[in-house]
């Protein structure tokens, strides 16, 4: 039995697919099991639990031989280092207490410099905490991961595609040894049956040593684009992260963590992984070629921003605690069956837009980026099925019942918590579409936000509902 944590994340999701294809017995630990159920195969066991809650881990660890630790708190606030310590400590204690766990496999970050960024320092500390459990740990320290949907690749793709001239800080020239997502997964799978060597650390990278500037140049070459990179001497992580937020899907909180980390060299110094594993990682040209081929599909198999942790939120459970919520609800009847009435709802957002005043939605997304939020650039991974847990512009799908209900939890910066729900009820040969906006204000600022923007929200939501009804009738 394998235990996989981080299965809703970018790398964990890819690994889960590989393990299922190879027939492994897999158990996934997930804070919100309903977000993973639609993606996992029937034989994969999914258990609810939270690494911050030690009592919830015993069931997940029972009978497990190998446990993967693929979680991080990069999107969390200033307390992310303490959150990572707590999670790793709880996981390590649960693994040691289970009695059956023979190996922990952990993926961290690669850096050779001193005075590391908080993120990289925390990644190394996590490995130390796991080793302190007494359970043998196989730790992989990876350089930049390149693949369709990865954080680094989406950032590079957006920069190169949108900007003929790129004004960049000097960190774009920092040496790195980027590795393809396929090779990362190969290493993780190979570690399951690796001969017992006790605890060991492997540094992994691709075949080429380059830099972010080199990756951007190779991307531009393969896309047939001419791009110029202009370095500037001073561009702080804060300014850099906000600049990235304006032109890429990387929002400010994630961007700052990324920039603080990529300023450190990430070149493999210890080549032992090449001697232990029969894996020969591909070079940067092949890695980008593979990523581009997968990006040409409707959506990447997994994306960094679909991980619940990328939102920086704790949870967005459908069973919310009672509180003072402000609700705006309206309905419209359409002369079509429920399936036809729901069709435009399931396609909302992303390339389909929001049916009414899309420019206002884009303005809201731009303001959110300026405030350090996620903005509108994440889109949606599947244009036809809004799977629970996946992103949908600056929302996250909280619940999805085909032909009946779609519930979205807001991830934009607001003084409180917000939800938008669209549902359809059959009414004979016609259907009733109901649209409900909920807001749970946080203090006086939250109330001012709701009532100040109420006229605009009323206009937008009324227009959206009307256009959804028209689309349902036209496409019936």
Q: Are 459 and 437 in contact (CB under 8 A)?
A: no
Residue 308 pLDDT > 60: no
pLDDT (mean) for 157-165: 81
The one-character DSSP state at 29 is E
For residue range 446-464, list pLDDT tens digits in order.
888 888 988 888 889 999 9
pLDDT of residue 180: 95
**What pLDDT shows up at residue 321?**
31
Burial class (CB in 10 A: 0-12, 13-18, 19+), 175: middle
CATH classification code of 2-309: 3.40.50.720
How many Å apart are CA 185 and CA 195, to the nearest integer?
18
> Is the confidence at residue 298, as pLDDT, over 70?
no
User: How far apart (Å, rounded) are the C-alpha atoms in residues 211 and 233?
Assistant: 17
Give the model's pLDDT for residue 214. 93
Q: Is residue 192's pLDDT more than 60?
A: yes
Domain with CATH 3.30.530.20 in the chain: 324-474
Percent of the chain beyond pLDDT 70? 85
Q: Among 30-39, 180-189, 241-250, 431-440, which range has the highest average pLDDT?
A: 180-189
Residue 87's pLDDT is 92
pLDDT(312) > 60: no
Q: Is the pLDDT of residue 164 over 90?
A: no
426 or 256, which is more confident? 426
- In the block, residue with structure tokens 């006790």: 198
Query: DSSP character for 308?
Result: G
pLDDT of residue 73: 65
* Residue-level pLDDT at 171: 74
Residue 13: pLDDT over 50: yes
Average pLDDT over residues 154-158: 79
Which has the higher per-residue pLDDT, 440 or 396? 396
Chain region(s) in the chain for CATH 3.40.50.720: 2-309
How far is the C-alpha of 28 from the C-alpha of 17, rounded, in Å?
A: 12
CA angle 91, 143, 236 (to 5 degrees): 100
* Terminal Cα-to-Cα distance of the chain (whole angstroms): 48
Higher-scoring residue by pLDDT: 34, 238: 34
Q: Which run of H or E residues covers position 80?
A: helix 80-98
Q: What is the pLDDT of residues 233-278, one digit of tens each?
A: 766 656 666 666 666 655 545 555 666 667 778 899 999 999 999 9
CA distances from 132 to 87, 93, 188 (A): 14, 9, 21
Cα(471)–Cα(380) distance, integer angstroms:
20
pLDDT over 90, % of the chain: 43
Between these two residues, 239 and 217, which has the higher pLDDT value? 217
Asked whether the predicted pLDDT for residue 9 surpasses 90, the reply is no
- Tens-place pLDDT, residues 275-288: 999 999 999 999 99
User: Could you tell me the pTM of the whole model?
Assistant: 0.70
Q: How many CB atoms lie within 10 A of CB 67?
A: 29
pLDDT at 388: 86
- Residues 64-104: tens digit of each pLDDT: 999 999 987 655 556 678 888 999 999 999 999 999 999 99
Residue 323, pLDDT > 50, answer: no
pLDDT single digits (tens) 326-338: 888 889 999 999 9
Query: Average pLDDT of 122-139?
Result: 92
Q: Which residue has the higher pLDDT, 311 or 258?
A: 258
DSSP 395-437: EEEEEEETTTEEEEEE-S--SEEEEEEEEEEEETTEEEEEEEE
User: What's the pLDDT score for residue 440?
Assistant: 79
* Rounded Cα gap, residues 279 and 18, in angstroms: 16
pLDDT of residue 257: 62
For the domain 324-474, what is the CATH superfamily, name and number? START domain (3.30.530.20)
Confidence band of 311 (pLDDT split at 50, 70, 90): very low
Measured CA distances, 135 to 52, 89, 93, 122, 191 (Å)? 20, 12, 10, 20, 15
pLDDT value at residue 310: 46
The pLDDT value recorded for residue 246 is: 63
Average pLDDT over residues 44-59: 90
pLDDT at 255: 56
What is the model's pLDDT at position 230? 85
What mean pLDDT, rounded, does the chain reach? Answer: 84
Say what the pLDDT of residue 381 is.
80
Q: Which of 40-44, 93-97, 374-378 tops mean pLDDT?
A: 93-97
């Amino acid at each position: 039995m394998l235990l996989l944590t981080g299965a809703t994340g970018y790398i964990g999701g890819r690994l889960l697919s590989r393990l299922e294809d190879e027939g492994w017995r897999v158990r996934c630990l997930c804070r919100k099991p309903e977000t993973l159920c639609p993606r996992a195969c029937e034989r994969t066991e999914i258990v609810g639990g939270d690494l911050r809650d030690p009592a919830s881990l015993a069931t997940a660890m029972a009978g497990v031989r190998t446990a993967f630790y693929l979680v991080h708190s990069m999107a969390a606030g200033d307390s992310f280092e303490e959150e990572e310590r707590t999670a790793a400590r709880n996981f390590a204690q649960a693994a040691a207490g289970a009695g059956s766990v023979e190996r922990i496999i952990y993926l961290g970050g690669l850096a050779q410099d001193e005075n590391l960024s908080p993120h990289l320092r925390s990644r190394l500390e996590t490995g130390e905490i796991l080793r302190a459990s007494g359970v043998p740990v196989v730790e992989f320290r990876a350089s930049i991961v390149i693949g369709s949907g990865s954080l680094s690749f989406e950032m590079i793709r957006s920069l190169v595609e949108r900007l003929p001239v790129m004004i960049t800080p000097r960190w774009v020239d920092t040496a790195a040894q980027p590795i393809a997502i396929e090779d990362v997964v190969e290493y993780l799978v190979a570690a399951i049956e690796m001969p017992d060597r006790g605890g060991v650390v492997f540094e992994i990278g691709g075949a080429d040593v380059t830099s972010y500037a080199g990756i951007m140049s190779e991307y531009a070459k393969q896309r047939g684009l001419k791009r110029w990179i202009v370095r500037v001497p001073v561009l702080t992580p804060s300014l850099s992260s906000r600049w990235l937020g304006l032109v890429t899907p990387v929002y400010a909180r994630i961007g700052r963590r990324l920039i603080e980390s990529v300023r450190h060299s990430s070149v493999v110094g210890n080549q032992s992984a090449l001697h232990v594993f029969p894996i020969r990682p591909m070079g940067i040209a092949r890695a980008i070629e593979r990523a581009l081929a997968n990006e040409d599909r409707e959506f990447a198999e997994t994306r960094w921003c679909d991980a619940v942790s990328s939102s920086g939120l704790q949870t967005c459970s459908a069973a919310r605690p009672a509180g003072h919520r402000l609700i705006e609800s309206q309905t419209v009847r359409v002369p079509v069956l429920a399936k036809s009435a729901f069709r435009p709802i399931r396609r909302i957002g992303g390339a389909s837009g929001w049916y009414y005043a899309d420019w206002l939605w884009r303005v809201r997304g731009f303001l959110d980026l300026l405030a350090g939020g996620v903005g509108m650039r994440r889109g949606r991974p599947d244009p036809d099925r809004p799977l629970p847990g996946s992103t949908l512009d600056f929302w996250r799908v909280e619940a999805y019942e085909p032909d009946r209900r779609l519930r979205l939890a807001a991830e934009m910066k607001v003084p409180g918590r917000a939800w938008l729900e669209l549902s359809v009820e059959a009414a004979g040969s016609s259907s009733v579409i109901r649209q409900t906006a909920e807001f749970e204000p946080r203090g006086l600022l939250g109330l001012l936000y709701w009532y100040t923007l109420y006229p605009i929200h009323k206009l937008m939501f009324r227009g959206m509902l009307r256009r959804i009804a028209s689309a349902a009738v036209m496409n019936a």
